[in-house]
Amino acid sequence: MQEISRRTVLVGAASAAVTLTVPAPVAHAKPMENTRNEESAPGSCETMGSTEACVEVRQIQDVCGIQYTIKNHGDAPQTYSVSCVDEDGGPNPGTVTVSVEAGESVSDYFYGDLLHCFTLQVCPVPAGKEMTGPRTGGKEADVTCMTLGPVCSETSSDW
């Protein structure tokens, strides 16, 4: 029986290890499926008076992050009621009250289900009033609101 040197065994083992760690060719990668509704946008912005509000969605681990940004271009602080509604019947992410100083902006998140669409409503809160929940604009509270969306989430992985 022929003897194999230690050097031959080590070189063979190193070659096998390198071969095992090379990734699969990109040609075998599964193409991403576009699940976004053609009518929905990845983001939406509206301007009303000195206020600009924007919303966009992105996958954050296994949930949808609905990021909103409110910019107050005015010369006085302003308070807003921000409501998020799941258009696909999932649980509504909620309503928050946000204060934005003059010339400043505020960003925050709501969270919802992946593959769902969301609408945000941003309403200025009149001084001395407290608003909760979505408004239909105008008549109910003598306040006109901005409606952003719908914006829809998608998933980039095949779990």
67-111: pLDDT as tens digits:
999 999 999 999 999 999 999 998 999 999 999 999 999 999 999
Structure tokens at 110: 């709501």
Peptide bond into 150 cis (omega under 30): yes
- Answer whether residue 26 shows pLDDT above 80: no
What are the CA-CA distances from residue 31 to residues 23, 37, 42, 60, 114 (Å)?
17, 18, 20, 21, 19
CB count, 10 Å around CB of 71? 18
- Answer whether residue 48 shows pLDDT above 70: yes
Q: What is the pLDDT of residue 129?
A: 61
Residues sharing a CB contact under 8 Å with residue 126, sequence separation 6 or more, in sequence order: 141, 142, 143
- Taking residues 38-52, what's their average pLDDT? 78
- Answer whether residue 149 shows pLDDT above 60: yes
- Taking residues 23-31, what's their average pLDDT? 38
All structural domains of the chain with their residue ranges: 41-128+143-153
Determine the CATH number of domain 41-128+143-153: 2.60.40.150
Cβ–Cβ < 8 Å for 120, 148: yes
Q: What is the pLDDT of residue 33?
A: 37
User: Among residues of the chain, what percentage have pLDDT more than 70?
Assistant: 60
The pLDDT confidence band at residue 142, using thresholds 50, 70 and 90, is low
- Answer whether residue 31 shows pLDDT above 50: no
Q: What is the pLDDT of residue 43?
A: 84
- Taking residues 16-45, what's their average pLDDT? 46
- What's the whole-number average pLDDT of the chain? 76
